[in-house]
Amino acid sequence: MRAIIVAFLSVIGSAVLADDLADAHRQAVSGRDSYWNCLAREYQRQDNRNMSGTDFTSLIARACPSERQSFRVRLTEYLALQFPDRDSGSHMTDANNAIGLAQKDVATAFAKHKAAAK
């Protein structure tokens, strides 16, 4: 009887963990989308048209602080559930790298668009 109870509890525990992981993934994706949408709004602002690439890169690095932090937290939480054996500092590094790559993509698109307009 104890074996059946232990097996049942482990199956339920696995299902709960899977639900937590799926929910954390949805939240991380939602955070990513919010951050990207905010960066896209910054990219499209009319007063950015006359900026240099360096100035725009600095602007993007400072833009969307709440969305950026929300994405960082949600992604770090998801990675902690997905890879519980890894150091939490590595999850933070991965989240910061994802943010840096998003900023780099927007700045690169700005530079290419500006060069094409010349």
Q: Which residues contact 107 (CB under 8 A, 6 or more apart)?
A: 53, 56, 57, 60
Predicted local distance difference test score (pLDDT) of residue 3: 54
Our CA dihedral for 108, 105, 94, 35, rounded to 10 degrees, sits at 130
Binned at pLDDT 50, 70 and 90, residue 18 comes out as low
- Over the stretch 36-76, which tens digit does the pLDDT of each residue have? 999 999 999 888 888 999 999 999 999 999 999 999 999 99
